Chains A and B, each alone.
Chain A
Amino acid sequence: MRIRRRNSHASGFEAVNATPLIDVVMCLIIFFLIVGQFAANRGMRVNLPAAGSGRDESSSTIMVITVASAGAALAAGQPATSWNAQGVSVEVDGQIVPDAAGLENAVRAQLLGIAATSFQVRADRELSYGSVEPVLRALGQGGAKSVRLATERLP
């Protein structure tokens, strides 16, 4: 009598136990989140300029344009490009772009595919505006109406 009651209680408890499922699903979410972050971290590492104000990125389709100083890029073993005359080295989604026309074409092709692409410009803080300007100009010529300047969040 006592044993039967205990058994029915135990089996009823097991039938609704979703804890292992939630545990595993959460672990999978964290895993894919971290892997996704690493995959999205495209391009060279640059020291972003600091800003006390800004927004989070909300677009799902982004194109990352990395503008690093030419000295650092060449020291890292990257091939010389025509951007080096401006003192920069430019990458789009981790791929080196040889010149302004190449960047324009990449932007145009991206906009043809997905018109709502957000263009992230990750430029080094040590650059002068004269080095970044050709990149912005090429983006504008390629059809980008606006860009998002990546900055480091000030504490």
Chain B
Amino acid sequence: MSQAPTPPAATVSSSPRETPAPRRRRRQRHSALDQYSMHFGPNMTPMVDVVMVILIFFMASAAFLGSEWFLRAAIPAEQGRGGSPTRPADPLALSPQKLDIIMDVDASGATVVSFLQINRGSLEQVIDRLAGFPKDENTRQLEIIIKPTPAVPYRDVVLVHAALDAAGIDKVGIGVTRPAK
């Protein structure tokens, strides 16, 4: 841009000669490459390209990964006290000192939960009680088995499980009754 355009007369006068003509003409042309050679400072275009692609990459991965998550539940080998004597080395095996959360449905169809001192309380009551647990090592060591009766809605079981997870309790089992033989 800063280069002053040469009058066309100069190009015309040098055109009969073979070799220097293209070189002279190229110098006078204001192509993108020519302008770039005059450009001062770093070239931003490739950087912007790459940054845009990275941005789209993270947006796409967040959209795919962010929609759901998982609750880990152990399946106790046996229903009732005693845990699983067959696999003592299993870190998820439920040891004898464990707490039960018993879920049932009352006459009106609402889910009732019994846990610690709460006897057939509401779902919110138990979730509030779990939220009040101190976030310490004792809580983390707790082993809890959720024992719902068949009539309990599955989503309520998941709600209680999520509340346990939020309280920092990792060792959660879901009670499965032994098949009728």
**A-to-B contact residues, CB < 8 Å:** 3, 6, 9-10, 17, 19, 22-23, 26-27, 29-30, 33-34, 37, 48-57, 120, 123-133, 136-137, 139-141, 144-153
Residues B77 and A125 in contact, CB atoms below 8 Å apart: no
B67 in the interface (beta carbon within 8 A): yes
Cβ-defined partner of B158 (8 Å) among A3, A51, A146: A51
9 tightest A-B contacts by CB?
Answer: A130-B150, A54-B69, A51-B162, A19-B46, A49-B155, A53-B166, A140-B75, A148-B70, A49-B158
- B68, B92, B154, B165: the one contacting A53 at CB < 8 Å is B165
Number of A-B contacts (CB under 8 A): 160
Could you jot down 5 A-B contacts, CB within 8 Å?
A6-B37, A9-B37, A19-B50, A125-B153, A151-B69
Interface residues of B in 114-163 (CB under 8 A from A): 148-155, 157-159, 161-163
Q: How far is the CB of B42 from chain A (nearest CB, A)?
A: 11
The answer to whether residues A149 and B158 also contact, given A22-B50, A52-B166, A56-B70 and a CB cut-off of 8 A, is: yes
- Contact A17:B53 (CB < 8 A) given known A145-B74, A146-B74: no
Is the CB–CB distance between A51 and B61 below 8 Å?
no
Q: How many residues in B have their beta carbons less than 8 Å from beta carbons of A?
A: 52
A149 to B49, CA, bound (A): 40
Q: Which residues of B contact A (CB under 8 A)?
A: 23, 27, 33, 37, 46, 49-50, 53-54, 56-57, 60-61, 64-77, 87, 90, 92-93, 103, 148-155, 157-159, 161-163, 165-166, 174, 176-177, 179
